Amino acid sequence: MTNEELAGQTEQEQSLAVAAEWVAAAKKIVVLTGAGISAESGIPTFRDAQTGFWAQYKPEDMASEKGYRTNPAMVWRWYEYRRELVAKVDPNAGHLALAEFEKRHPGAITLATQNVDGLHQRAGSSDVLCLHGDLNTQKWLDTPRDCCYIEHAQAGDPPSCDVCGNMLRPAVVWFGEALPYKVFGRAQDAASECDLMLVVGTAGAVYPAAGLANVAKRCGAKVVIVNPAPSGLDDVADLKIRGTAAAVLPRILAS
């Protein structure tokens, strides 16, 4: 795009045009998404979902091993409630733009998300790096024994092994837990090798996931922030686009 063409556009339009050019030129792109892209589909954030009956509980009660062991039935029902919320919404234009870009450019994009709702997968994205786990899957609370088979778990709140009593838990990252080692390692490798990173719909306050932007920047990649409000990663950005994922991604991923 020429300087004359850029001069005739608003600052927002210029930013979108520049980002689209960087996307078209990049050989390897990493996209890091956060709660903002899911909020556009109508999914409340973890804290925002604590309304009504659930407002009486602290987040730590719902998202820690200690809270789960203290009241497993209550916490299990909380995650069932959240799964019901997710099931009622659909991926939005931001999710779909990422999935469609991947189909047009196989191997060019690595998608890492802080979200646990599965909307990227439902939109059609494959091999999504779920940094904080997956709300729709379960794992054993304690190290499983030979008798522990998820498909044979005894029904209940929560389901449990009918032999040893080991409880299933949501396969999400709780307070005080490390991110999945292999998943986060792949995200770090991708960030260190990319030409461009798009940071979409995240306040940039939750580490270590937010640190992927710093990795990309140190390794020479351009970093674009897509968020309606200022974020904690704005200082890392080469370009900041103040807009929502659903409005911005279809435009900059059109190539």
The residues carrying an active-site annotation are 132
Cβ 120 vs Cβ 95: under 8 Å: yes
Q: Is the peptide bond before 158 cis (omega within 30 degrees of 0)?
A: yes
Taking alpha carbons only, the member of 127, 125, 164 closest to residue 143 is 164
Dist CA 236 CA 217 (whole Å): 7
Q: How far is CA 20 from the centre of its chain?
A: 22
Question: What is residue 139's three-state secondary structure?
Answer: strand
Angle in degrees, CA 17, 212, 29, rounded to 5 = 40
Q: Which of 216, 218, 220, 184 is nearest to 197 (CA)?
A: 216
CA 247 to chain centroid, in Å, comes to 18
CB-count exposure of residue 218 (10 Å: 0-12, 13-18, 19+): exposed
Q: Which H, E and C letters describe 154-178, residue by residue? A: ECCCCCECCCCCCEEEEEECCCCCC
